[in-house]
Amino acid sequence: MSNRYLGRQPIINAKAKIVAYDLLYRESGHNDDNGFTAAVISNLLVSMETVLGKHIGFIRVNREFLDYDVIDLLPCDKVVYSLFADMLIDEALVQRMLSLKAQGYFFALNECIYTNETIQKYALILPFLSYLKIDASRSNLSQVGRSIPLLHEVGIQVIGTKIETHEMYELCLSMGLDAFQGYFISEPNIIKNSSFSAEQEGIFHLWNLLQSEIEIPELVDAFQSNHAISLKLLRFINSAAFSLKNPVSSMKQVLTLMGRDPISNWIMLMMFSDAQSQTPQRVPLLLMVVNRTEMMSALVRMLNPQASKEDISKAYFTGMLSLIHLLFHMSQRAVLSKLNIAYEIEDAVLDGIGFYGELLDLVRSIELFDTEAIEVFLVKKGLKYAIIEPLIQHVMEKVNTFEKAVEE
C-alpha cells in the first residue's frame, strides 16, 4: 500500500510574517505534486486546524476536483483552491468557478509562468481569481512588476513561488510582489565580515557555562553578573509563549527548580526571538526553530521509548544549532566554533553524521517535502509512515500554538 504524504510550505508577506501555507500532497512512488483527491480532502477535514492553525491554506486541484461534492465540506474562509496553470479553460470551468465564487470560495492560479501573454491567456478566469502564483524562476519579473498595479485593481494578489535564493527574494520584493514562497526561507543569507554583538557574546558565554561542570551557585553568580541578559531571559520565560503556571522571579529559582537544559534551550530561543523582533524582514526563524527542535525531540522519543533526558536534549540542541547560523549570516562552522558542544552534535550539524545526523536529515526532508528521502529512511529503519505522520501533525499543532502565544 502506498503512502500518502501531506506537507505544508509557508508563504510569507513583505514583513516576513507567515500569512498562509501551501499544502502539498504526494503519493509514494510519484515525484510530482498530485492534485488533492476527494479522499485526501476528507482526511484533511479532520486535521484542518492542526495543519493550518490561524492561516489559510492553498490546495492544488485539477478540473475534475471542482465537480466533487466534497468541495463544499471545506470552510471557504480557510482554503484557496489553486488551479493548475495547464488546466483547460472553457465555458464549463468558467461557470463552475462563478458558482463556487458566489458561495464564498477563493481561487488562485498555481505557479504560472508570467509573460506578456499571461493576462490574455487566462482572461476568462481572471475575474474569479484572488491570487496569482507565479513561478519566479521562469517568469519575466520586470513584466510582473509592471502588471501588479493592474492586477491589484481587479483584486488579485501576486505570490512569487520557487524562490530559491535571497537575491531572488530581494528582486521579487523590489518588484512589489505581495507574498513569497520557496526554499530561500531555510537558507542562510551570508554576509562577509559579520561579527557578534556584546550581548550575543555574553549569551554564548553563559550557554557554554551551562554545558560545563560548574556548580549551580557559580552559574547563578555568572547570570547575576550579566544582569541585562538575565532580566531579558526572565521576561522571555514568563511570557505567554511558555504558559508557566507560576512566574519565576530570579535566575537562582529557575536554575534550582528547572535545571540546566531548559535554561540552555530558552537562552538560545531568546536569541532567535530577539532577532525576529529587531529585523522585521527576517524570515520566520523562531517558528522554524520550534518546528525543528520539537520534531527532533519527538523522533528520538518515538525511535527510543527509553530515551534519557540527555538523549532528548542532544536531539533538541542538534535541531536548534542547525539553524543558529541564520541569526548571524555566517557559516555553521564559524558559529559553532564559539560554542562548547558535544562532538556528536557538531558532527550531526556539520556533516549529517551519526544518529542525530540521520534524524536531522529526516527532519530537513520533512520540511522540504522530500518524500523519496523520507521513504529511504523509513525502509532503512523498518518503519511505516503511519508512525511518523501523527508526530508531524503534533509538531505542526505545537508550532501553531507557539505562534499564537508570541503574537498575543
Work out the burial of residue 345: count CB atoms within 10 Å of its CB; fewer than 13 is exposed, 13-18 middle, 19 or more buried: buried
Would the pTM of this model clear 0.75, i.e. be above it? Answer: yes
CATH number for the domain whose boundaries are 4-186: 3.20.20.450
Longest dimension (CA), the chain: 77
Phi and psi at residue 68, to the nearest 5°: -70, 145
For the record, the C-alpha cell of 44 comes out as 484533511
What fold does the segment set 198-406 form as a domain? Hypothetical protein af1432 (1.10.3210)
Per-residue pLDDT of the chain (408 residues; tens, 9 = 90+): 567 788 888 999 988 888 999 988 777 655 555 556 666 666 677 677 888 888 999 998 888 888 877 777 788 889 999 999 888 899 999 999 999 999 999 999 998 999 878 888 899 999 999 999 999 999 989 999 999 999 999 999 999 999 988 889 999 999 999 999 987 776 655 444 356 777 888 888 888 888 888 888 888 888 888 878 888 788 877 776 666 677 777 888 878 777 788 888 888 888 877 766 655 545 577 888 889 999 999 999 999 999 998 899 899 989 988 988 777 767 788 888 888 888 999 999 999 999 999 999 999 999 888 888 999 999 999 998 889 989 999 999 988 888 887 676
Residue 159, beta-bridge partner list: 133, 179
Domain boundaries, the chain: 4-186, 198-406
Residue 13, beta-bridge partner list: 179
